[in-house]
Amino acid sequence: MAAAEAGQAAAERSEQCAAGAAGQPTVAARFATLAGQQAAEEGAGEAAQALQQGAAEEAAAQQAGAAAAAAAQPARLARAAAAPEAAPPATGQPAPSKPRRLKQLFDYLLVLDIEATCDRDKAVQLQPQEIIELSCVIVDTAACTLLPGGWQRYVRPDQHPVLTDFCTQLTGITQSKVDAGVPLKTALNQLDGWLREQGLLGQGRSFSPLIWRDWDLKVMMASECKQVKREWRNIEQPKYLRRWIDLSAVWFKHSSRRGNLRGSVEAAGLAWEGRPHSAIDDARNTARLAVKLMQGGLILGITGSFGNLDASGRFRQGTLLGLATRGASSSGGKSQAEQAAGPTKKRVFDDGGAWNGCCYCGARAKKRTVKRPGPNNGRDFWSCGRFTMTGGASCDFFKFADEVVSPPGAANDGSSRRWRRH
Q: Which residues are annotated as catalytic?
A: 115, 277
74-81 contacts, C-beta under 8 A, 24 or more apart = none
126-129 contacts, C-beta under 8 A, 24 or more apart = 126/159, 126/160, 126/164, 127/371, 127/372, 128/159, 128/223, 128/224, 128/371, 128/372, 128/373, 129/220, 129/223
Q: Is the dihedral of CA 334, 340, 341, 344 positive or negative?
A: positive
Residue count of the chain, please give it. 422
Question: Beta-carbon neighbour count of residue 33 at 10 Å?
Answer: 21
Q: Is the dihedral of CA 291, 293, 294, 295 positive or negative?
A: positive
Contact 137, 283 (CB under 8 A): yes
54 contacts: CB under 8 Å, gap ≥ 6: none
Burial class of 180 by CB neighbour count within 10 A (0 to 12, 13 to 18, 19+): exposed
Q: How many CA within 13 A on the CB side of residue 98? A: 4
- Residue 339's H or E segment, with its range, is helix 336-340
Q: Shortest CA distance to 148 belongs to which of 157, 163, 158, 138? A: 138
- What's phi and psi for 194, nearest 5 deg? -65, -40
